[in-house]
Amino acid sequence: MAEHAKKKHAGHGYTHTHIEHHADNSHTVHHVHQDGPHKDVKSAVADHDGLMDHMMDHTSMPNPGEAEAQAGPAAPAATGPVVMPAPGPAGV
């Protein structure tokens, strides 16, 4: 995905979006920014699901709990040093 992927924009600043549909079911999405072309976002997406994800990622805030759910479970807390078992006897 583009460098702006998975960022949620409260005030995204885009004035309009162009979507090109291609024969292989991919799309090109071009968000036109109010501050000029240097802030436009243009990305390729592979399918309809990618198109919808891209639109949501660039033009809306996450639903309550959505950002946490996408982050996945938290890593377990470290409880101390990891102790590896001693190697068994040679030739076994």
Record the pTM.
0.55
pLDDT in tens, 47-67: 999 999 888 888 887 778 877
Structure token pair of residue 49: 């699901």
Residues in the chain: 92
Output 87 or 41, whichever has higher pLDDT: 41
12, 58 in Cβ contact below 8 A?
A: yes
pLDDT in tens, 33-52: 999 888 888 999 999 999 99
> Which range among 16-20, 41-45, 51-55, 84-88 shows the weakest confidence by mean pLDDT?
84-88
With 0-12 / 13-18 / 19 or more C-beta atoms within 10 angstroms meaning exposed / middle / buried, residue 26 is: middle
If phi over 0 gives left and psi between -120 and 50 gives alpha, with beta otherwise, what is residue 79?
Answer: alpha
* Whole-number average pLDDT of the chain: 79
Q: Tell me which residue has tokens 């924009």.
A: 9
